[in-house]
């Protein structure tokens, strides 16, 4: 791996970690439920991107499969939370 790619991956991981930190702060301090839902969306998206960057760093397929699972579970969770906030119930 070249030095430039290694530095870019390190910078990307740092930025994603910083974004996850700010999203966690919004999750705990969010004044409304919608802010908290958006913070959770940001957290799962950042976690998925961290897995993708780690997959590029280590060159293994396992991280890409984990990222796919995180995206699937996060999407379903977001839909369920949005439905709950709109209607007050998830399952009709």
- Kindly list the structural domains of the chain, giving each domain's residue range(s) and its CATH number in brackets, ordered by start: 3-87 (1.10.287)
pLDDT on residue 81: 85
Q: What is the pLDDT of residue 92?
A: 66
- State residue 90's pLDDT score: 64
**Residue 73: what pLDDT?**
93
Angstrom distance (rounded) from CA 32 to CA 79: 17
Q: Which of 66, 2, 80, 3 is nearest to 37 (CA)?
A: 80
Query: What is the average per-residue pLDDT within 37-46?
Result: 92
The mean of the pLDDT values for the chain is 90
Mean pLDDT confidence for 24-36: 90
Q: Report pLDDT for 22.
A: 95
Query: Exposure of 62 by Cβ count < 10 A (0-12 exposed, 13-18 middle, 19+ buried)?
Result: exposed
């Amino acid at each position: 791996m070249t030095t430039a790619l290694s530095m870019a991956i390190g910078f990307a991981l740092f930025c994603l970690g910083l974004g996850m930190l700010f999203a966690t702060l919004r999750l705990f301090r969010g004044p409304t439920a919608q802010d908290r839902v958006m913070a959770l969306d940001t957290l799962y998206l950042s976690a998925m991107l961290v897995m993708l960057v780690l997959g590029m760093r280590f060159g293994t397929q396992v991280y890409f499969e984990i990222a796919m699972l995180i995206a699937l579970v996060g999407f379903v969770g977001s839909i369920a939370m949005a439905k709950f906030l709109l209607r007050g119930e998830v399952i009709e």
